[in-house]
Amino acid sequence: MSAMWQGCLAGTDYFEMRSSGGHDYGVWVTTPPGYDPAATRAPVVYVLDGNWAVGQTAPLIVTQLDPMQRIRPYIQVSVGYAGEEAQHWARLRNRDLVPPGEPIAKEFVDAVEMGLQAGTMTREEADAYLAELRDTQADAFLAFLTAELHPRIERDYDTAASGHGLHGYSYGGLFSLYAWLSGNTLFETIGAGSPGVVGEGSQVFAQLQEMGDSLPAANLHVTLNERELLGDLAIYQSLAKNTATFLHRLTSHGGAVTSAILRETHVTGLQASFLSYLRTCRPL
């Protein structure tokens, strides 16, 4: 990285990688302070929405030196989009983070139209944003993370063999639930911040029903935001209600899952959600 960015994101490397499906991804790898794999190998925590999340989450790597609440050492791998596509990360994430067959909720369409009316996006941008939701490929993206990217990280950074984690927020949180329910064995801890379970017909409910009483072994931590629960925006009200329903159904299945309500909005909750995940799932 350039000297400027190295000063902001200490200990961070950046590279770009093309998936077997032909999609280009930007990858930021942040190692712990004083990391020496010859002494102790650290596991990896994958963080989604890297173009947005890396600046808010990678600096929290210093929590591993906090004398008041130590966090187990981890290498953070933030995954986003590269090149010309990086400017379109907000719509490309719809393709990668949403489960196949996920219905497009009316509240979501209404929120896009609200953005159009407010002038935050053009009609062309709004149409492109919704178009990505008509062919969602979270299954392919999960395969890329686990079968293509992780082996490269494991080789190049000499990581631990186990103890890996995943954190996603909003649609990234929906992806986290999808990955947890898929039973993928790479991740031992998973954080789902304000998961984008906008519709009652979300695929995660179908996945949960299919699993019966056999729930994944990975630790799951779910966060929601106070302003989503108590605010007056329909999309966030639906997200909070459906996520609560999901958690209640997990309880009926005997699921040992942790959760927290944060004093944030949907936009400001990312960093707080990640820190809540670290404190809950990765304490020293």
**Is 238 in a helix, a strand, or coil?**
helix
pLDDT band at 185 (very low <50, low <70, confident <90, very high): very high
Domains of the chain, CATH where assigned: 3-99+136-281 (3.40.50.1820)
Contact 43, 164 (CB under 8 A): yes
Span 191-198, average pLDDT: 97
Span 136-162, average pLDDT: 97
Mean pLDDT, rounded, of the chain: 92
Span 117-121, average pLDDT: 81
State residue 110 phi and psi, 5-degree precision: -60, -40
Radius of gyration (C-alpha) of the chain in whole angstroms: 18
Span 123-146, average pLDDT: 89
Poorest-confidence range of 97-106, 124-133, 162-171, 211-220? 124-133
Poorest-confidence range of 5-9, 187-191, 205-209, 218-222? 5-9
Residue bearing tokens 């909003």: 170
Tell which residue, 179, 165, 89, has the closest CA to residue 125.
Answer: 89
Percent over 70 (pLDDT), the chain? 96
- Return the pLDDT at 255: 67
**Bridging pattern class, strands 164-169 and 187-193:** parallel
Tokens standing for residue 208? 């949960």
pLDDT at 1 over 70: no
- Return the pLDDT at 163: 97
What pLDDT, in 10s, does the model give residues 13-70? Answer: 999 999 999 999 999 999 998 888 888 899 999 999 999 999 999 999 999 889 998 8
The angle at the Cα of 107, spanning 101 to 110, to the nearest 5 degrees, equals 115
- Return the pLDDT at 33: 86
pLDDT at 2 over 70: no
More confident: 94 or 126: 94
Q: pTM of this prediction?
A: 0.94
- Residues with Cβ < 8 Å from 29, sequence gap 6 or more? 12, 13, 14, 15, 75, 76, 77, 78, 153, 157
What pLDDT, in 10s, does the model give residues 88-118? Answer: 999 999 999 999 999 987 877 887 788 788 8
**Bridging pattern class, strands 219-225 and 24-30:** unpaired
